[in-house]
Structure 1
Amino acid sequence: MIRSVCLLYLLVAMVAAADEPFRIDVVEEGTGWPVPLVELRTTHNVRFVTDNAGVIAFDLPELMGVPTWFAIEGHGYGVAADGFGYEGVRLTPEAGGHARVTVKRKLPGKRIGRLTGGGLFGESQRFGDHPEWNDQGVLGCDSVQLAEHRGRLYWLWGDTTLAGYPLGLFHMLGATTGAHPLRSLEPPIRLWYDYFRDRSGKPRVVAEMPGSGPTWLSGLVSLPDKSGEQRLVAVYTKIRPPLAAYETGLCVWDDEQQHFIRHCVLWKHSEEDPQAPALPEGHATRWIDDEGSEWLLFGDPFPRLQCAPTFEAWEDPAAWRTLEPQPTVAPAGGGEPVTPHRGSIAWNAFRKKWIAVFTQFGGSSPLGEIWYAQSDSPLGPWGAAVKVVTHNNQTFYNPRLHPELTPADSPVVLFEGTYTTQFVDHAEPTPRYNYNQVLYRLDLDDPAMKAE
């Protein structure tokens, strides 16, 4: 009897071991940091993608024990090509086994991890790692807006993917965090959002405005009114298919309802008035000019509008001044001028310069190339730009600098953007990563980050 029980336990253990995945850790050469968003593809086109911990749980039964070639797509990370030009590694997967793949970073930008979506640690949790992390019911988020308001950070995103149906949320998802939400500036990262939720506990919209079609917000900022009360405000835009704006206006956060309320309509599309006027949209940046006057600058990336940093100036179009942003930036080392698409600027105490990150309009990967530039003034001129991030046939749009997430005098710069197949040619959506926010890091004391 005892012998039979022992044999049964042994058989169960053998079956469990046979079902255990083969673990692959992908790390960066030099730092040893895990690298998220690295794809390994077999010769029969099965794809595996590293999670925020740089882990893949390989589980194909037909390749266990078989020497297997994995092509590598690292979006700025990779290995040396072989004699036939193939970039990849050969591994022999074994149930319960482990391999470590080292990739070299080709550009200054360090990929720190995905901020939104499901399965941030979906691969490594299969090995019992990161048991404390639970997903939050959101699978995709588009284009972040961020502002500090009454001691907390308010995060807003555009169109949002949920699990229950292909159509998700289309009137801005919202969340808050503490003022310093990241425990570390090194991977693996985890950023826990306190999403605004409905009575059933599901994430809900926070900016539905009257009229058909999605509502998008921009220019999010917290401003004092004449009584000294802080007001969280933004520009709203109503959208009709395919991506046409038909109404814009101003909206204000209602702290009791925890929802944005329409403040006023500024423009409606018509044959007589087909183009929206200049608005305080994009990303807001505070600036003190040479005369000591304080301003709010609104741009995407470079400033297009300025006003005094008060609620009353923000709500009064007569108090706005339009600006003419620099149309192109020369790349460091020469070459064709770079045309910015979208991005943001911020003051950097380490460099004692204004810095910018922006997506290139066009480029070798359409809307997937990210550049860094700097200037003595937020109004320019912006000096020679350095390419810092690339994405092979994938879009990475609307990058947003995060000076609020790093110490003021730190050489570390963080920015996030939306990773997606939108606007590229026949790209395959990357599982879990598509239509989500990915965080990158720049180290301004890196010689590769020398900019003029």
Structure 2
Amino acid sequence: MPIDRLRWPSNGVAMCGYLLVFCGILNGTAAIAQPCRIQILDRENDWPVPLVELQTNHGVRFVSDNAGNIAFDLPELMGEKTWFHVHGHGYGLPADGFGFRGVQLTPQPGETLTVHVDRQLPGKRLGRLTGAGIFAESQKLGLELAWKDQKILGCDSVQNVIHKGRTFWGWGDTILAHYPLGNFHMIGATTAIQPLENLQPPVRLRFEYFTNPESVPRNVAKLPGEGPTWLFGYVSLKDANGKQHLGSTYSKIKPPLEAYETGLCVWDEANKRFEREHVVWSKQDESETPPPMPSGHAISWTDPAGEKWMLFGDPFPTLKCKATFESWKDPTQWQTLKPQAFVQTQNGDRAVKPHRGAVAWSNYRRKWVTVFTQLAGESSYLGELWYAEADAPTGPWRGAIQVVTHDEYSFYNPQLHLEFVASGSPVLLFEATYTKEFSKTKVPTPRFNYNQILYRLDLDTIDFE
């Protein structure tokens, strides 16, 4: 009998009987609606694969979480033989005779189904580092219940540096749950230098954010002036007296994405925020454009003569200064560098133009290594990532190998994390921002959009020429 047609008797005993029947109906419905677990695994190693999309023939879309899980809960397809289109940004399945790439499954409440996907490039996706719902699909299934999200929905590109025995982190514009406008003056956090328990998925990286009284990550760089504050080129340097300082280049931004002031700022250890050190350039100056700044990502380098330098680039060095706090904050001591514009591929078939990226020294390869986003890539404008090597941080860079792809999606501003692994390890970790911005995609990937995703590259498995 339809629930809306039940007639409640005046007799108390009969009323209880009706309530028991009513609860039984609800309990039966709940049992039928219990999700089916679909786990996405890498065929090569059985690792869970986050960010793989399954889509039904009537357009319902599911995305695997950091544990590779999907909680399938469509009542109309429970027990039905169902086709799922599979799309995995570098992970996928062969096309069938009609060109469809997918898998046929029959979901059942409470059961577990497995989909093995093939990785198409060397980069292994480990998982999302920021945002909410990192284990949302698993938690719908009663798994990963100990994981608690950290009250942000998304954030832009990362900066990090080792400072006073910890890794100090910063991210740009940040999305919060309570209102469409979030934080626009950098958020920050610290972690241990090696913050991961292991180097395979699922990734569970907890940040110690700088928060407000409601435990929500707060702005750490609200410098004077209208508009957002963006920070670049984090450094940790000693002054002449041996005191360690955390510093950064800043830009003040006005619409659409134009810098109207650039300068240097320094971390206030007592108040846990950046304070402006001095303005280097403003729109009111005679020059219409900012001068070269120590921005991008910073690396330390000792030249053949034994002189220690800080190099700044994105990806390749464009500026250097001596590795002291006094030299960093004195623009008269900065020296500009001219990076190469293209990197030849390993097979020599073309030259790749870098957009943004990072450089680091690999003890395993005994080379300087880089991971960078290609400008105007084939499957996406800013979604293709490449690896290359050089004998010096200033190049020449050569032998580029494509390691990651994101179809019609951006994956920009990569950062390397050699500090996550033991010295001499063949494992190279890197992250970048996954976003629909600057791409053809109109509909963002739920939860993953505008967040940082970590990849792993095993250098001992790549055939270097």
1:12 to partner: Cα distance: 6.3
Specify the SS of the correspondent of 1:15. Answer: helix
1:284 maps onto 2:298 in alignment: yes
Q: Which amino acid aligns with 2:200?
A: E
Matching residue within 404, 407, 410 for 2:419 = 404
Q: Deviations over 1:165-184 (max 9, x none)?
A: 11110000111112221111
Q: Offset of 1:6 from its aligned partner?
A: 11
Cα displacement string for residues 17-40 of structure 1 (whole angstroms, at most 9, x for unaligned residues):
212101100000120000000000
Counterpart secondary structure, 1:385: strand
Q: Secondary structure at the match of 1:445?
A: helix
Aligned to 1:197: 211
Cross-structure match for 1:372 = 387
2:43 is the alignment partner of 1:43? no
Paired with 1:113 and 1:119, the residues of 2 have a C-alpha distance of: 12
Distance apart, 1:331 and its partner CA: 1.1
| 1:423 match | 438
* Paired positions, count: 448
C-alpha distance in 1, partners of 2:252/2:288?
14
Distance 2:412 2:32 in 1: 43
139-148 or 419-428, larger mean C-alpha shift: 419-428
1:316 is aligned with what amino acid?
D
- Whole-angstrom CA distance in 1 between matches of 2:304 and 2:95: 53
Task: Give distance in 2, aligned partners of 1:30 and 1:236.
Answer: 44
Amino acid at match of 1:436: N
Conservation of the 8 A alpha-carbon contact between 1:386 and 1:451: no
Question: 2:253 maps to which residue?
Answer: 239
CA distance in 1, matches of 2:46, 2:23: 39
Task: Check the 8 A contact 1:345/1:354 in 2, yes or no.
Answer: yes
Instruction: Give the corresponding residue for 2:318.
Output: 304
- Among 105, 109, 125, the residue aligned to 1:91: 105
Q: Distance in 1 between matches of 2:331 and 2:66?
A: 44
2:124 matched residue in structure 1: 110
Q: Does residue 323 of the first structure (1) align with residue 337 of the second (2)?
A: yes
Q: Map 1:221-370; keep pairs closer than 5 Å.
A: 221-270=235-284, 272-364=286-378, 365-370=380-385
RMSD value over aligned CA atoms? 1.6
The 8 Å contact of residues 158 and 171 in structure 1, kept in 2 or not, is answered as yes
Structure 2 counterpart SS, 1:217:
strand
Matched letter for residue 258 of structure 1: K
Structure 1 CA distance, aligned partners of 2:429 and 2:453? 11
Deviation of 1:13 (Å): 5.5
Alignment partner of 1:439 is 2:448: no
Which of 174, 183, 207 aligns to 2:197? It is 183
Cα-to-partner distance string for 1:368-418 (whole Å, 9 max, x where unaligned): 000000011101011110000000000000000001111111000000000
Give the CA deviation at 1:127: 1.7
Instruction: Look up the SS of the partner of 2:399 in the other structure.
Output: coil
More displaced 10-residue stretch of structure 1: 297-306 or 61-70: 61-70
Establish whether residue 144 from structure 1 lines up as the match of residue 158 from structure 2.
Answer: yes
SS in 1 for 2:67: coil
* Whole-Å separation in 2 of the counterparts to 1:428 and 1:127: 26
Note the C-alpha offset of 1:450: 2.9
Partner Cα distance (2:21, 2:219) in 1: 56
Residue in structure 2 matched with residue 62 of structure 1 by the alignment: 76
Establish whether residue 215 from structure 1 lines up as the match of residue 216 from structure 2.
Answer: no
Q: What is the correspondence of 1:20-39 to structure 2 with a 5 Å cutoff?
A: 20-39=34-53
Structure 2 residue aligned with 1:450: 463
Distance 1:356 1:338 in 2: 13
Say if 2:150 and 2:216, in contact at 8 Å, map to a contact too: no
Deviation for aligned residue 1:302: 0.3
**1: CA distance, partners of 2:451 / 2:46:** 25
CA distance, structure 1, for counterparts of residue 76 and residue 26 of structure 2: 21
**Paired residues of 2:156 and 2:171 also in contact (CA < 8 A):** yes
- Between the aligned partners of 1:430 and 1:165, the Cα distance in structure 2 is 20
Query: 1:383·1:451 contact (CA, 8 Å) conserved in 2?
Result: no
Q: Which residue of 1 aligns with 2:137?
A: 123
The Cα shift of 1:11 comes to 6.1
Alpha-carbon deviations, 1:424-445, whole Å to 9, x = none? Answer: 1143200000000000000001
- Paired position in structure 2 for 1:82: 96
Q: TM-score, normalised by structure 1?
A: 0.96
Residue in structure 1 matching 2:405, options 390, 400, 412: 390
Q: Provide Cα deviations, 1:111-170, integer angstroms capped at 9, x if missing partner.
A: 000000001000011222112100010100100000111111111000000001111100
Give the counterpart letter for 1:347 in structure 2.
Answer: W
The 8 Å contact of residues 409 and 441 in structure 2, kept in 1 or not, is answered as no
The structural deviation recorded for 1:353 is 0.4
User: Distance between the aligned counterparts of 1:157 and 1:85, measured in 2?
Assistant: 41
The answer to whether the Cα contact below 8 Å between 1:52 and 1:188 also exists between their aligned partners in 2 is yes
Distance in 1, Cα, partners of 2:98 & 2:125: 28
Q: Secondary structure at the match of 2:419?
A: helix
| TM-score, length basis structure 2 | 0.94
Moved more, 323-332 or 13-22: 13-22
Task: Report SS of the residue matched to 2:126.
Answer: strand
How many Å separate the matches in 2 of 1:198 and 1:9?
Answer: 44
Aligned residues of 2:373 and 2:412 also touching (Cα < 8 A): yes
Distance 1:313 1:62 in 2: 66
Per mean C-alpha deviation after superposition, the further-off stretch among 418-427 and 390-399 is 418-427
Indicate the larger mover: 123-132 or 213-222: 123-132
Query: Is the Cα–Cα contact under 8 Å of residues 373 and 451 in structure 1 kept in the other structure?
Result: no
